[in-house]
C-alpha cells in the first residue's frame, strides 16, 4: 500500500529533497531505507508541487542521491506512551536506549502537542517546597510554573537541579504521584551520567523518565527531545493525574540546533543568526507547563540554560524570560566566592509566587519578608559601590549596617549545603534574624505591627 | 475550476494559476476548513497565510474563497467573553473541542442562541442614516448594547419594526428600505478587521484616563482617546501595569489583547476579573471586559490578526458612545509575527529582520485610537495602551523606536527599579506624556486648581535628586550640605511613599485623584517647613528624628481612601512639630 520513492533529488545538511511525490501531508513522518538496511526517520518541512523537503533526524551522513528509498508513514511523529515509561531511558527521538525493549503503548501521542485553550487552564497556586532558602523565600516555585535556571558554563546549575529534584515535595502530600521527566539536550556524557547516578542514589530513578540527546548525537534529534519529554509529561500529568517536574538541560544547545537547522533551510535569520521564529518555537515548548481543569495532575518545568558569555541579553535567555514565569539566575561572582547556590537575588524572580505564598500556603509574613529582603539587598549593592569609591570606613552608619547585612545574607541565607533541606519556618526565621541587623526604620516594606511581632531585640 | 494547494511552508501556503482571489480575502483552506487570508496575489501564485496549525495539510487539497475580507461579527454577547485571535469564543470551543485548541473549529463569535431583551427605538417611516441607533439591549449588568445601522448603509427608511421583546442575535429587528431595496437588520453586523470603522469627526483630546495609579495619573497621564506605550524588559512589570490599568481605569469597557503572551496570565485575568468588584459600579470587572487571547503557543498568523480583531471590537463599542481602553500585551509579539510571516514570504528585511513596512503598520494601529464624535452624534473614544517587549531590554531596537514615533505617552519601565522592587517600576525621568497641557482645564475643574503646580514641584524635586545622586555616587551623602540632604530625604519620601504603589494592598491598589493631590500637598508642606527649618540652622538629622518623614512614607496605608480629612491633622502636626524646631 505504501509507495516507495527511490532516490533523492537533493541532499543539503540535515535536509533532503524528493521529487514526484504526491498525497503527502505537511509535517508527516517518512522513513528512509538505506541500501545497507539501516533506517532513518525524517519529517516533511516544506512542500512545493511534487517536491517535498524532509528533515532527517539522524543526519544525512552516508546518504547519496540513489542509495535511499523513502516511505511516507501517513502520520505525524508520535511516540508510544505508557506509565511503564517511568524508570526508563530513551534517546532524543523517544526510542528506548536502555536495552529493555520497546514500550507497550497505552496510546500514541503526537509530539508536537496542541495549544492549550487558555480557558481550560487553572491558575497555578500551590507551591513546591525545595528546601533551598533562596528559592523558597525569594523565588518560590509554584506547581504548574515554568521557572528556568539561567547559568553559565562552569557554574553549579546541575548540582542545584539535582538538589531541587531530590528535595522537591508538595506541601501536605505524600509525593506518591510525583514523577520527574528529564530531558538532556546536547549535554556531555558524564553530565547525563551524573544526573542518572544522583537520581539512583536518591532512590528516585523509578520515578524518572529520561530522554538523552548527548552532545555527540545528531542535532535534529535534539529538536525533538523536549517535544518527546513534554508529550510524556503531559500524558502522565493530564491523563494519569501525576505531578510532573520536567527538567530540561541545556536550552542553549537546543536553540543552537534550531539555528543550524534553520540556516540549512536557507531561512532569513533574526538576531544573532537565530531564526525569526525562535520565540514562537520556545513558547510552544514552555507553554506546555500548567495545570488544567478536570485533571489533578500538573506539569512544572525547570529548563536550564547556559547564557553564552554570561550575557542575559543574549536572545536565548532574553526570549526565554519573556515566556517563562520568572527566572533563577546564577551569579559568577558569588559562585566563585564559594557560595552555593550562588544565585543573583536581584535578577531572579518568580512571577507566580505572589498568589501561592502567604496565609494558607506558607506563612502570613512571607511576602513582606521577601519584599524587604529584596529591597534591603538592593541597597547593599549601592552601599558596596559607594564603599569601593570612598572606602568602607567613610560610609554612614546605616550604610555600614547594610554592608554587614549583605555579608551575612550571602553567607547564612544564600549559602547552604547540597543536602541541607530547610523548612519554610527555618528559612523565614533566618530572614528575620538577618533583617534585625538593620535599624527598624529601614524596614519600609512592612507594617509596624509585623516588625513588632518579629524584630529581634538586641 | 477548483483551486488547490500547490506549496506549504509553515503557516504560508501558495496556489498557482488562479485569478479567483482578492487581496486580503478570507479563505477556507483544505479539508479541515482552516481559516486563512490572502496576503499576496500575482500572475503566477496566490499566497495565503493560515491562522491555524498547518500540520497534516496536503498538496492538492482545496482552497475556498469567501468573497469578502477577514471580518468579525459584532453583536451583543461579546462583553465578558474570551476569544482567540480570530474572534472564536474559547469557552464554547472548550465545550465542543476539549481542553486543547482544535483546528477548523467554526463557532460563531456571537452566540446565536442567547436571547436578549430588546427595546426597539424606531418606528415605521423613520429615516435612519449610518451609525444611528435603532434598538438597545442589556448585554451585561454594566453595558447596554446599542444596535446601530451598519456604516455601509448611508440612508434608509424603516419599513418594519419588531415589537419590544426577547430576540436572538440573528433575528430581524427592523427592515429598512435602501434605495428601493428592502434590507433586514438584526442585532449583529459584520466588519472587516483591517479597516477602521468610520466616525463623524475626531475631536480634541481633553480628558485623562484616570487609573488610580499615582505615578501614571500625576507624572505620566494617559489620555482618553490617546495612545500610550509601555516598554520594558522582562520582569519589569509590563503585564502587571496593564492589569492594574485594566482593573481600575475609568473607561467603560476594557478590551484586553493577550498577544503572544503566557497562557497562565490569561487564566489569571479570567479568574481575578471574575472575582474583583469595580468600586465605581459595584459590579464584577468581567462585566465590562472583553478578552482576546492568542497565547504564545497558538498559531503565529492569528497573533498578527488578534490586534486587529481587538481594535475592531473596541471601535464597535466606541460607535455606541462608550469610552474604551485597549490593553495590547505585547505589540512586540505582534511585530515578531509580522517578521515571521515576512520571512516566510522571502521579503527583503529591513532592520533586525523586521519587514520595511513595520513602521507603517504600527502607525495604522495606533492611529485607530482617538476621541471621536461618532456617527450617531454621541462621543466615544478608544485609548490604546500597548506593551512593548524590547529584545535584550534595549530601547533602541526597531519596535520600541518606531512605536515611540506614534504615541504621545511613553511609560518606560526600568530594570534597575524592578531589581530594587520599586513597583510600579516606571522611570519618572525617561517617561513622558505630551498630553499634560491639554488636561489643564480638566484638572482645574475636577481635581484642584493647584494640581499642575504641585505636580511640577514634586517633579522638580525628583529631577534635583537625580542630579545630586550623581554626586553622592562619587563622594557619599554625608558630605552634602544640609539643604541638599533635605532634597534627598524629601525625594525619598516621594519615591517610596508616593511613586511606589502596592497593587496587593486593599487601599493602595487604587487611589483616587483627590487623595493623590492631598498626598502631594502634604509632602510639599513638610518639605517647605523643613527648608525653612534648615535655613534657621536646624540639622536635617534633627528634622528626621521627628519621625514625620517616615510617617509620610507610610501615609498611603495609614489614611484610607475615604478618610481624606485626616490629611488636615497631619498638616497641623507638621506645622507644629517642625516650626517648634530650632526656636
Give the pLDDT confidence of A388-424 residue by residue, as tens digits: 888 888 888 889 999 999 999 999 999 999 989 999 9
Least confident of A362-376, B76-90, B204-218, B342-356: B342-356
Mean pLDDT of B505-513: 90
Q: Which of B102, B419, B501 to mutate to test the interface with A (most CBs of A within 10 A)?
A: B419
Compute the average pLDDT of residues B17-24: 88
**Cβ neighbours around A21 below 10 Å, total:** 21
User: Between β-strands A121-122 and A298-306, what pairing exists: parallel, antiparallel or unpaired?
Assistant: unpaired
Q: Check if the beta carbon of residue B133 is closer than 8 Å to that of residue B320.
A: yes
The percent helix, strand, coil of chain A (3-state, each to 5) is 40, 25, 40
**Given an 8 Å threshold on Cβ–Cβ distance, is B346 in contact with A268?**
yes
Cross-chain CB nearest to A124 (options B264, B339, B478): B264
> Which among A76, A124, A267 has the least Cβ separation from residue B343?
A267
> Given pLDDT bands bounded at 50, 70 and 90, which one contains residue B450?
very high
Reported as a single tens digit per residue, the pLDDT across A115-126 is 889 899 999 888
Residues in B closer than 8 angstroms to A313, CB to CB, are 391-394
CA distance A101 to chain B (A): 30
Partners of residue B478 in chain A, C-beta under 8 Å = 394, 396
A352 shares contact with chain B (CB less than 8 Å): yes
Q: What distance in Å separates the CA atoms of residue B380 and residue A48, rounded to the nearest whole number?
A: 49
CB A144 within 8 A of CB B264: yes
DSSP class of residue A147? -
Q: A102: burial class by Cβ within 10 Å (0-12, 13-18, 19+)?
A: exposed
Query: Residue B109's pLDDT band (boundaries 50, 70, 90)?
Result: very high
pLDDT of residue B52: 87
Interface touch A22/B475, C-beta < 8 Å = no
CB spacing of B94 vs A119 below 8 angstroms: yes
Residues of A in contact with B419 (CB under 8 A): 346-347, 378
pLDDT of amino acid B335: 93
Instruction: Report CA dihedral (A143, A146, A150, A156) to the nearest 10 degrees.
Output: 40
Nearest CA in chain A to B470: A386
Taking the Cβ of residue A115 and every Cβ of chain B, the question of whether any pair is shorter than 8 Å is answered with: yes
Distances (CA, A) of A132 to A161, A336, A378: 11, 19, 21
Give yes or no for residue A458 having a pLDDT over 70: no
Q: How far apart are CA A273 and CA A262, in angstroms?
A: 9
- Is B58 in Cβ contact with A25 (below 8 Å)? yes
Residues of B in contact with A352 (CB under 8 A): 264
Q: Burial letters for A248-276: b for 16+ Cβ neighbours within 10 Å, e otherwise?
A: bbbbbbbbbbbbbbbebbebbbbbeebbb
The Cα-based distances of B534 to B230, B358, B471, B525, B581 in angstroms read 40, 55, 21, 14, 10
pTM: 0.91
Residue B298 is predicted with a pLDDT of 86
pLDDT in tens, B268-299: 888 888 888 877 788 888 999 999 999 888 88
Interface probe, candidates B7, B29, B297, chain A, greatest A C-beta count within 10 A: B297
Q: Is A371 on the interface with B (CB under 8 A)?
A: yes
Q: What pLDDT, on the 0 to 100 scale, is given for residue A126?
A: 85
Strands (E), B338-439: 370-373, 379-388, 409-410, 432-433
Give the Cα separation of A49 and B58 in Å (integer).
10
Instruction: Label residue B157 by pLDDT band (50, 70, 90).
Output: very high
Question: How far lies B269's CA from each of A383, B241, B256, B275, in Å?
Answer: 39, 13, 9, 10
- Which residues of A, range 40-69, sit inside 8 Å of B by Cβ? 46-50
What count of Cα atoms within 13 Å lies in the side-chain half-sphere of residue B418? 21
| Residue A176 pLDDT level (bands cut at 50, 70, 90) | low
Judging contacts by C-beta atoms under 8 Å, the chain A residues touching residue B353 are 268-271, 276
Each residue's pLDDT tens digit, A295-319: 888 999 999 999 999 999 899 999 9
How high does pLDDT run on average in chain A? Answer: 89
Q: Is residue B53 over pLDDT 90?
A: no
Identify all chain A residues contacting B235, using CB atoms and an 8 Å cutoff. Answer: 321, 326-327, 349, 351
- Chain B residues with CB inside 8 Å of A116's CB? 99-101, 263, 295, 297
Q: Which residues of B touch A50 (CB under 8 A)?
A: 59
Cα A81 to chain centroid distance, Å, stands at 22
Beta strand A326-329 pairing with A291-292: unpaired
A430 pLDDT tier (thresholds 50, 70, 90)? very high
Q: How far A407 CA lies from chain B's nearest CA (Å)?
A: 18
pLDDT at B210 over 80: yes
Q: Is the pLDDT of residue A286 over 70?
A: yes
Mutate to test the interface with A, among B107, B421, B477, B556 (most CBs of A within 10 A): B421
More confident residue, A428 or B420: A428
Q: Tell whether A389 lies on the interface with B, counting CB pairs under 8 A.
A: yes
Q: Determine the length of chain A.
A: 458
Helices (H), B319-384: 331-344, 358-366
Q: What is the pLDDT of residue B151?
A: 93
CA gap A356, A170 in Å, rounded:
12
CA-atom Rg of chain B in angstroms: 27
Q: What pLDDT score does A388 carry?
A: 87
Handedness of CA B276, B279, B284, B288 (dihedral sign): negative
Tens digit of each residue's pLDDT (9 = 90 or more) over A67-94: 889 999 888 889 999 999 999 999 988 8
The per-residue pLDDT for A200 is 86
Kind and range of the H or E run holding B243: helix B238-248
Q: How near does any CA of chain B get to the CA of A66, in Å?
A: 25
Does residue A277 register a pLDDT over 90? no
Q: What is the pLDDT of residues B476-495, one digit of tens each?
A: 787 889 999 999 999 999 99
pLDDT higher for B366 or B103?
A: B366
The ipTM assigned to this model is 0.86
Question: pLDDT value at position B440?
Answer: 94
Q: Taking the CA atoms of chain A, what radius of gyration do you get in angstroms?
A: 25
Please write the tens of the pLDDT for every residue from B81-90: 999 999 999 9
Does residue A175 register a pLDDT over 60? Answer: no
d(CA A3, nearest CA chain B) in Å: 16
Closest CA of chain A from B84, distance in Å? 9
Q: What angle do CA A107, A113, A116 make, to 5 degrees?
A: 115
How much is the pLDDT for B1?
Answer: 58
Q: Which of B54, B267, B472 shows the shortest C-beta gap to A123? A: B267
> Is the CB of A268 less than 8 angstroms away from the CB of B353?
yes
pLDDT of residue B522: 96
User: Which residues in chain A are contacts of B352 at CB distance < 8 A?
Assistant: 270-271
Side-chain half-sphere CA neighbours of B500 within 13 A: 24
pLDDT at A436: 94
Residues 257-296 (A) with a CB less than 8 A from some CB of B:
267-271, 275-277, 279-280, 283-284, 286-288, 290, 292-294
In our burial notation (b when 16+ CB lie closer than 10 A, e otherwise), range A166-188 reads bbbbbeeeeeebbbbbbbbbbbe
* Residue-wise burial string across B19-45, b where 16 or more C-beta atoms lie within 10 A, e elsewhere: ebbeebbbbbbbebbbbbbbbebeeeb
d(CA A7, CA A69): 6
**Grid coordinates representing B222?**
494617559
A117 in contact with B, Cβ within 8 Å:
yes
Residue B251 scores a pLDDT above 70: yes
Output the nine-digit C-alpha cell for A376: 534591603
Contact B74, B189 (CB under 8 A): yes
pLDDT value at residue A203: 79
Burial letters for B545-556: b for 16+ Cβ neighbours within 10 Å, e otherwise?
Answer: ebebbbbbbebb
- Inform me whether the C-beta atom of residue A393 falls under 8 Å from chain B C-beta atoms: no
- Residue-by-residue DSSP string for B483-538: HHHHHHHHHHIIIIIII---TTSTTTTS--HHHHHHHHHHHHHHHHHHHHHHHTT-
Q: Which helix (H) or strand (E) holds A42?
A: strand A39-48
Mean pLDDT of B205-233: 95
Compare CB distances from A441 to B258, B391, B550 and report the shortest one's residue: B550
With 70 as the cut, is the pLDDT of residue A173 above it? no
With cut-offs at 50, 70 and 90, classify the pLDDT of residue A360.
confident
pLDDT band for A150, please (50, 70, 90 cuts): very high
| pLDDT of B404 over the 90 cut | yes
Asked if A46's CB is within 8 angstroms of B557's CB, the reply is: no
Contact criterion met (CB < 8 Å) for B297 and A389: no
Those residues whose C-beta lies under 8 Å from the C-beta of residue B256, and which sit 6 or more positions away, are B242, B246, B269, B289, B290, B291, B292, B326, B327, B329
To test the contact with chain B by mutation, choose from A22, A115, A294, A395 the residue with the greatest count of B C-beta atoms within 10 A, namely A115
Q: Which of B58, B339, B393 sits opposite A276 (nearest CB)?
A: B339
Shortest distance between the Cα of A201 and any Cα of chain B, in A, equals 35
Q: Residue B53: its chain A contacts at CB < 8 A?
A: 114
User: Which of B450, B522, B477 lies closest to B530, judged by CA?
Assistant: B522
Q: How far is A189 from chain B (nearest CA, A)?
A: 32
Q: In chain A, whose CA is at the least distance from the CA of B263?
A: A118
Tell me how far apart the alpha carbons of residues B357 and B350 are, in angstroms, rounded to a whole number: 9
- How far apart are the CA of A117 and the nearest CA of chain B, in angstroms? 5
CA–CA distance, A339 with A335 (Å, rounded to integer): 5
Lowest mean pLDDT among A168-172, B121-125, B240-244: A168-172
Torsion of CA B447, B449, B455, B460, to 10 degrees: 180
Amino acid at each position: 500500500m505504501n509507495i516507495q520513492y527511490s532516490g533523492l533529488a537533493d541532499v543539503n545538511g540535515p535536509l533532503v529533497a524528493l521529487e514526484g511525490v504526491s498525497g503527502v501531508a505537511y509535517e508527516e513522518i517518512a522513513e528512509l531505507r538505506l541500501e545497507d538496511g539501516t533506517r532513518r526517520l525524517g519529517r516533511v518541512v516544506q512542500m512545493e508541487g511534487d517536491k517535498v523537503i524532509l528533515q532527517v533526524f539522524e543526519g544525512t551522513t552516508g546518504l547519496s542521491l540513489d542509495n535511499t528509498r523513502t516511505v511516507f508513514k501517513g502520520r505525524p511523529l508520535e511516540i508510544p506512551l505508557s506509565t511503564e515509561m517511568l524508570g526508563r531511558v530513551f534517546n532524543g527521538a523517544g526510542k528506548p536506549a536502555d536495552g529493555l525493549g520497546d514500550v507497550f503503548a497505552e496510546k500514541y501521542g503526537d509530539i508536537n502537542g496542541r495549544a492549550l485553550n487558555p480557558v481550560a487552564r487553572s491558575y497555578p497556586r500551590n507551591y513546591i517546597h525545595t528546601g533551598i532558602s533562596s528559592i523558597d523565600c525569594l523565588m518560590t516555585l509554584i506547581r504548574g510554573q515554568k521557572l528556568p535556571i539561567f547559568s553559565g558554563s562552569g557554574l553549579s546549575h546541575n548540582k542545584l537541579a539535582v538538589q531541587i529534584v531530590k528535595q522537591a515535595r508538595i506541601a501536605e502530600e505524600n509525593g506518591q504521584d510525583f514523577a520527574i521527566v528529564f530531558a538532556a539536550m546536547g549535554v556531555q556524557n558524564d553530565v547525563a551520567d551524573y544526573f542518572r547516578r544522583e537520581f539512583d542514589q536518591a532512590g528516585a530513578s523509578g520515578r524518572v523518565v529520561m530522554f538523552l540527546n548527548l552532545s555527540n548525537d545528531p542535532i535534529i534529534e535534539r529538536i525533538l527531545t523536549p517535544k518527546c519529554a513534554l508529550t510524556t509529561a503531559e500524558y502522565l500529568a493530564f491523563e494519569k493525574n501525576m505531578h510532573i517536574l520536567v527538567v530540561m538541560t541545556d536550552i542553549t544547545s537546543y536553540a543552537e540546533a534550531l539555528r543550524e537547522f534553520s540556516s540549512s533551510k536557507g531561512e532569513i535569520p533574526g538576531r544573532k543568526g537565530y531564526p525569526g521564529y525562535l520565540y514562537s518555537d520556545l513558547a510552544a515548548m514552555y507553554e506546555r507547563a500548567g495545570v488544567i481543569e478536570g485533571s489533578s495532575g500538573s506539569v512544572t518545568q525547570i529548563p536550564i540554560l547556559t547564557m553564552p558569555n554570561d550575557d542575559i541579553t543574549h536572545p536565548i535567555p532574553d526570549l526565554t524570560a519573556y515566556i517563562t514565569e520568572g527566572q533563577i539566575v546564577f551569579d559568577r561572582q558569588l559562585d566563585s566566592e564559594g557560595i552555593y547556590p550562588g544565585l543573583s537575588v536581584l535578577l531572579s524572580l518568580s512571577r507566580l509566587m505572589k498568589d501561592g505564598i502567604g496565609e494558607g500556603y506558607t506563612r502570613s509574613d512571607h511576602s513582606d519578608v521577601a519584599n524587604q529582603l529584596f529591597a534591603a539587598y538592593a541597597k547593599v549593592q549601592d552601599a558596596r559601590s559607594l564603599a569601593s569609591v570612598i572606602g568602607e570606613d567613610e560610609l554612614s552608619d546605616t550604610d555600614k549596617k547594610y554592608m554587614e547585612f549583605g555579608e551575612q545574607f550571602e553567607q547564612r541565607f544564600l549559602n547552604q549545603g547540597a543536602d541541607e533541606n530547610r523548612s519554610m519556618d527555618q528559612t523565614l526565621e533566618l530572614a528575620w534574624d538577618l533583617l534585625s541587623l538593620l535599624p527598624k526604620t529601614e524596614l519600609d516594606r512592612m507594617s509596624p505591627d509585623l516588625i513588632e511581632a518579629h524584630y529581634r531585640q538586641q | 475550476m477548483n483551486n488547490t494547494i500547490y506549496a506549504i511552508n509553515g503557516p504560508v501556503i501558495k496556489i498557482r494559476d488562479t485569478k479567483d482571489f482578492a487581496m486580503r480575502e478570507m479563505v477556507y483552506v483544505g479539508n479541515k476548513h482552516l481559516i486563512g487570508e490572502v496576503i499576496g496575489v500575482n500572475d503566477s501564485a496566490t499566497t495565503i497565510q493560515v491562522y491555524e496549525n498547518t500540520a497534516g495539510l496536503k498538496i492538492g487539497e482545496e482552497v475556498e474563497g469567501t468573497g469578502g475580507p477577514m471580518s468579525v461579527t459584532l453583536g451583543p454577547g461579546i462583553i465578558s467573553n474570551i476569544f482567540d485571535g480570530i474572534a472564536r469564543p474559547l469557552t464554547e470551543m472548550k465545550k465542543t473541542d476539549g481542553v486543547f485548541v482544535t483546528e477548523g473549529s467554526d463557532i460563531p463569535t456571537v452566540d446565536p442562541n442567547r436571547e436578549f431583551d430588546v427595546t426597539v427605538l424606531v418606528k415605521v417611516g423613520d429615516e435612519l442614516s449610518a451609525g444611528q441607533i435603532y434598538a438597545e439591549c442589556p448585554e451585561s449588568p454594566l453595558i447596554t448594547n446599542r444596535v446601530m445601522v451598519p456604516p455601509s448603509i448611508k440612508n434608509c427608511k424603516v419599513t418594519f419594526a419588531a415589537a419590544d421583546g426577547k430576540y436572538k442575535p440573528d433575528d430581524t429587528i427592523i427592515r429598512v428600505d435602501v434605495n428601493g431595496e428592502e434590507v433586514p437588520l438584526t442585532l449583529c453586523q459584520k466588519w472587516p478587521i483591517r479597516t477602521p470603522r468610520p466616525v463623524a469627526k475626531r475631536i480634541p483630546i481633553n480628558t485623562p484616563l484616570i487609573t488610580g495609579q499615582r505615578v501614571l495619573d500625576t507624572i505620566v497621564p494617559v489620555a482618553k482617546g490617546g495612545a500610550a506605550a509601555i516598554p520594558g524588559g522582562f520582569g519589569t512589570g509590563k503585564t502587571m501595569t496593564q492589569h492594574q490599568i485594566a482593573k481600575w481605569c475609568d473607561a467603560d469597557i476594557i478590551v484586553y489583547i493577550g498577544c503572544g503572551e503566557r497562557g497562565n496570565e490569561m487564566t489569571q485575568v479570567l479568574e481575578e476579573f471574575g472575582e474583583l468588584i469595580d468600586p465605581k459600579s459595584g459590579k464584577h470587572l468581567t462585566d465590562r471586559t472583553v478578552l482576546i487571547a492568542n497565547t504564545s503557543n497558538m498559531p503565529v498568523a492569528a497573533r498578527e490578526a488578534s490586534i486587529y480583531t481587538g481594535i475592531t471590537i473596541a471601535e464597535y463599542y466606541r460607535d455606541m458612545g462608550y469610552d474604551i481602553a485597549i490593553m495590547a500585551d505585547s505589540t512586540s509579539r505582534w511585530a515578531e509575527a509580522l517578521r515571521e510571516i515576512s520571512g516566510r514570504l522571502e521579503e527583503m528585511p529591513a532592520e533586525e529582520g523586521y519587514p520595511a513596512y513595520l513602521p507603517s503598520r504600527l502607525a495604522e494601529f495606533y492611529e485607530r485610537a482617538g476621541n471621536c464624535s461618532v456617527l450617531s452624534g454621541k462621543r466615544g473614544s478608544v485609548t490604546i495602551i500597548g506593551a512593548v517587549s524590547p529584545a535584550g531590554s534595549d530601547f533602541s531596537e526597531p519596535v520600541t523606536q518606531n512605536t515611540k514615533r506614534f504615541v504621545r505617552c511613553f511609560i518606560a519601565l526600568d530594570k534597575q527599579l524592578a531589581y530594587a522592587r520599586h513597583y510600579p517600576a516606571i522611570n519618572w525621568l525617561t517617561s513622558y506624556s505630551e498630553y499634560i497641557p491639554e488636561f489643564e482645564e480638566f484638572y482645574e475643574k475636577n481635581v484642584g486648581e493647584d494640581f499642575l503646580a504641585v505636580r511640577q514641584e514634586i517633579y522638580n524635586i525628583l529631577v534635583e535628586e537625580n542630579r545630586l545622586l550623581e554626586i553622592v555616587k562619587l563622594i557619599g551623602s554625608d558630605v552634602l550640605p544640609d539643604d541638599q540632604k533635605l532634597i534627598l530625604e524629601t525625594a525619598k519620601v516621594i519615591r517610596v511613599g508616593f511613586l511606589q504603589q502596592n497593587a496587593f494592598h486593599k487601599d493602595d491598589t487604587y487611589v483616587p485623584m483627590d487623595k493623590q493631590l492631598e498626598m502631594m500637598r502634604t509632602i510639599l508642606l513638610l518639605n517647605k517647613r523643613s527648608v525653612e527649618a534648615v535655613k534657621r540652622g536646624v540639622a536635617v538629622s534633627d528634622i528626621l528624628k521627628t519621625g514625620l518623614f517616615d510617617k509620610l512614607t507610610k501615609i498611603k496605608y495609614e489614611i484610607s481612601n475615604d478618610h481624606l480629612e485626616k490629611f488636615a491633622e497631619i498638616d497641623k502636626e507638621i506645622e507644629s512639630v517642625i516650626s517648634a524646631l530650632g526656636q
